[in-house]
Structure 1
Amino acid sequence: MISFKLLFAPLTAFQKIIKLMEIMEIFELSQTSKRMFACIKYAKRKIEPIRITKERFENTICVVERKGERTGLTIHLEDWQANPIRFWKWDKFRLGVCVKQEEEKSFHCNYSKREDIDYHLTHCFNYLSDLFNNKTIAIWINRDLINESKWLFSNLNFEECRYIRVKGHEAPLTNDDMSNLLESLKPSFQISIECALDKRFSKKTILNLPRVTIWHAERITYYDLLNMDCEVAEFENHQFSEEDVKKFINHWLAGNNPKLIRLRLGNFESLPDWENILKGVEYEKWDGRRRPESYEISYTHHIEEVYCRNGLDFNRDDRTVGTLVHLFGSIEFIVWKNLECRS
C-alpha cells in the first residue's frame, strides 16, 4: 500500500523521499513493480562504484553511498542449507533470500551450484547499476579465481572499472593473470596487489595508473620509481634503502615524476636519518603558515588523511613543496601542488 501511494506522489516529493531512504530500503522498494523501479531510477540516487568481491569463501556485492561511509547494502551469495524465506525475481532471474540482517544492511542468498555464482553476481550487479544509474565497478578478486572469471567480466554491464584489488596467499600473480584483468576490466584509477608477484611480472603494466598499492614489492626497483607515472604509489616489503629515498628526492627536485602527490614506503620502523637523506637540500619544519598540517587523498571508496605536522618541507624550483614525514613505520613523501591538496 505504501509503495502504491508513493507512485502517485508528485515527482519532486517522490525524489525527496527516495533521497531520505536507506539504500537497502530503496532496493527492496524497487522490486514491488516495474513502474516503481523506473521511478526510482529516474530519481537518480547517487552511489559510489559498486563493489564485487570474489573470494574462495566470500562472494558479495556492496553498495556504498558516499566515500568513508559504511556499506548501504551487501548481498552475500552463500551455500545455505536453509530454505529461502522469499525469492527475488526480475526478468528471467530468480534468487532465494535466506536471511535479512537489518543492522548489517545485508541479505544472505543461496546459490544452487558454485558454478552459478558468476551468473548471480552478474544479474545482481546489472540490476543495481541500472537502478542507481551507476555502471562503475570495483573488483576484489582472489588471484586463483581470475582465469575462471572471464564469463563474469564479459557479462557485467559496466562502463568503467575504477579499482581492482587482487588478493591471495598461494601462487604469485603472473603476467597472464594481469593481462586478463587489464584487458577485461581496463581499470582507470586504482589497483592494489596483495599477493606475491611472479619473478617475470612486468611492472610497467600497472605503474601508469593514478593509484597503485603493492604489498609484496620485493621486485619493484629504483628504476621503477624513477619511471612510474602514478599520482599515489604505496609499497610494502620492498628492498629500498634510505639512500634510495635520498636519490629519489633529488630526482624529484630536478623536476621529474610531475604527477606524483604521494609515495609511501613501508618497512622503515626506525626514524630515518633525515640529515643524510636531505643532505644539500634546504628544508624547514612545519610552521602552520606554508601548508596545512594534513593532506587528504581520495581513493575509490575512502578519503585518507596523512598527518604531516612533524614533516620536513623543501621547495622545488617551480615552487612546488615536498614533505617528508615518518608515520607508523613508513616514510611518506607528500607533494603539495600550489599549496593545495590535490585528490
Structure 2
Amino acid sequence: MRLCTRNIHIQTNIDSALDSCTMSSIKLLSFPLLVFSEIVRSMEIMEILELSQVSRRMLNVLNLARISVETVHVVNGIVDKITIFNESCTERKFAIEFLKTPQPVVGQMKVNNISIDVCGKNTTQQIINCNSNQFGYGLVHVLTHMDKIFYRMEYSIGIELSTLNAMRGVLCHSIFRKCDYVQIRGRKETLSNEDCEYLLEKTQPTTGITIFSKLSPDFDYKKILHFSRLRVPNLGKMPLEDLKALDSEIANLGNHQFTESDINEFLHHWIEGNNRKLRRLKLDGFKDAPDWDALLKDISYTEWSSKEREKNYKSKYTHTEETIDCENGRDFMDKNGQLATVVYHSEFLDFLIWNDRFPE
C-alpha cells in the first residue's frame, strides 16, 4: 500500500509539474530530481537541447536526470548531419543538418560554451539547420554538449573517404572513442592500410564496420576480422587463411575471389570446431548456382526436414531483422552437433548456423 501511495503521489507531482511548466518554465528546477527527470524524459529531443542552453545549472541537472537516447548517427560528405533515430532505427527523432547551400542566419545555438549559427528550425520535423561550413567546427562541440545531456550515448559514424584529410583534426577528439559502428564511404575511393588504421584508432568501434570503398591491393584484412558485424561489398583478394580466421558473428562479403573449393575448405574448418562466434556468412557475387559437388565435397549433408529445423532463418544485423528462406538449403553438423545450413539465392551464398532450430 505504501508503494502504491508513493507512486500516486509521484504521478500527481509530475502532472502538477507539467501544468506548472506550461504556466512558467522558470519553476522547473524547483521540483525534486525524480519529478524533474520524468518531465524532461517526456520532452522532444529538440526541447531538451534548447532547455540545456538556459544555464549551466540546468545542463548539470539534465545530466543527473539520465535521459537515454539511441545511437547518434553522424555522417559527412554528400550530406553533413547528426541524427537520432528511434530504437528500431526506422524513424528519425531529431536531426541537425549542415546545409551545403548557405542560408541566412536566423539565430544561434550555444553548445559547449561556443555559439553555432542557426539558419532554420522546424519543430514539427525536429530539425535544426546550420550552414555546412560550420560542420567541422561545430560537430565536436555539439556532440560534447549532447554527451553531457544524454546518458551512455554512443555514436555510429559514416565518413566519406575523400574528406578524411579534412576531418583528421576533428576525429582526434576523444568524443569519437564512444563509437559503436563505423561506415567508410566512397565507392570510387581506395582505402589504404594507413587510413584504415587511423580511422580505427580514432573511433575504436565496439560492434562493427562497413567498408563501401575499394581496398588497397596490400590491404591487411586482419585489422577487421574481429568485428561482430562486418560488411565489405568490395572484398577483393582476401586470402583464404584470413577467411578461416574470421571472428565475426555476421559477415557480409561481396566481390570476392573465393571458389567452391575455397568455401569447401572453410566449411571443413568450421566443422572441426573453429569460427565459434559465427552465426552467418553471406557471400555475394555468385551469378550462377554453385557447383554443389565441389562446394560440399566430403561433407555429409541432408536436405531440409521440417522435423530438424524451421524453413526460415532470421538474422538481425543491427536493427532490421532479415528472413532467409532455407527450404532448398543443405544441412550438416560440426563435430559438436551444431547444425548449419548452406543455401543459394540469386547472386549470393549464405552459410547459416542455427542456435535455435525452432525459434518462436
TM-score clears 0.5: yes
Q: Which amino acid aligns with 1:165?
A: Q
Matches within 5 A, 1:114-133: 114=133, 116-133=134-151
Per-residue CA distance 1:166-186 (angstroms, 9 max, x = gap): 111333111111111122222
- Paired with 2:309 and 2:317, the residues of 1 have a C-alpha distance of 22
| Local SS of the residue matching 1:219 | coil
Cα distance, 1:127 vs structure 2:
1.0
Relative to the length of structure 2, the TM-score reads 0.83
2:139 pairs with 1:139 = no
Match of 2:251 in 1: 233
Alpha carbons 2:59, 2:148 under 8 Å: kept: no
Aligned-residue offset at 1:286: 4.7
Query: After TM superposition, what 4+ stretches of structure 1 lie above 6 angstroms from structure 2?
Result: none
**CA 149–81 in structure 1, closer or farther in 2 if over 3 Å, else same:** closer
Tell me which residue corresponds to 1:297. Answer: 316
Question: In 2, are the aligned partners of 1:264 and 1:331 still within 8 Å (CA)?
Answer: yes
Q: Which residue of 2 aligns with 1:194?
A: 212
The residue that corresponds to 1:316 in the other structure is: 334
* Residues 164-173 or 16-25, more deviating: 16-25
Q: Which amino acid aligns with 1:307?
A: I
Separation in 1 of the partners of 2:26 and 2:206? 41
Q: Is the CA contact 1:80–1:98 (under 8 Å) kept in the aligned structure 2? A: no
Corresponding position of 2:189: 171
- Between the aligned partners of 2:151 and 2:190, the Cα distance in structure 1 is 36
Structure 1-normalised TM-score?
A: 0.87
Q: Secondary structure at the match of 2:344?
A: strand
Q: Structure 1: which amino acid aligns with 2:91?
A: R
| Other structure's SS at 1:234 match | strand
Deviations 1:1-28 (A, max 9, x none): 6433443444333333333333333223
Separation of aligned partners in 1, 2:338 and 2:72? 36
How far apart, in 2, do the equivalents of 1:286 and 1:41 lie? 55
Segments of structure 1 that go 5 or more residues without pairing to the other structure are none
Distance between the aligned counterparts of 1:198 and 1:98, measured in 2?
41
Is the CA contact (8 Å cut-off) linking 2:112 and 2:145 kept in structure 1?
Answer: no
Paired residues of 2:112 and 2:142 also in contact (CA < 8 A): no
CA RMSD of aligned residues (A): 2.6
Aligned to 1:74: 95
Q: Work out which of the residue numbers 162, 176, 179 in structure 2 matches 1:161.
A: 179
Correspondence for 1:17: 39
In 2: Cα distance, 1:181 partner to 1:153 partner: 8
Shift of the 24–58 alpha-carbon distance from structure 1 to 2, 3 Å rule, reads same
Q: How many residues align?
A: 335
> Residue type of the partner of 2:341?
T
- Give, in whole Å, the separation in 2 of the partners of 1:283 and 1:27: 58
Bigger RCO of structures 1 and 2 (CA < 8 A, at least 6 apart):
1
Q: 98-107 or 245-254, which moves further after superposition? A: 98-107
| Distance 1:176-1:297 versus aligned 2 partners, 3 A rule | same
Corresponding residue of 1:92 = 113
**AA matched with 1:297:** K
Larger Rg, first or second structure (1 or 2): 2
Per-residue deviation, 1:289:
5.6
Residues 103 and 278 (structure 1), Cα distance of their counterparts in 2 relative to 1, 3 Å cut: farther
Q: Is the 8 A contact 2:70 2:153 kept in 1?
A: no
Partners of 1:320 and 1:339 within 8 A in 2: no
Structure 1 residues 293 and 153: alpha-carbon distance in aligned structure 2, compared to 1, 3 A threshold: same
Does the alignment pair 1:208 with 2:226? yes
Aligned residue type for 2:56:
K
Counterpart Cα distance in 2 of 1:286 and 1:70: 39
C-alpha deviation, 1:191, in angstroms? 0.9
Which range is displaced more, 176-185 or 130-139? 130-139
Report how far residue 126 of structure 1 moved.
Answer: 0.7
Q: Name the structure 2 match of 1:287.
A: 306
Answer yes or no: is the 8 Å Cα contact 2:232–2:252 preserved in 1. yes
Are 2:321 and 1:333 equivalent residues in the alignment? no
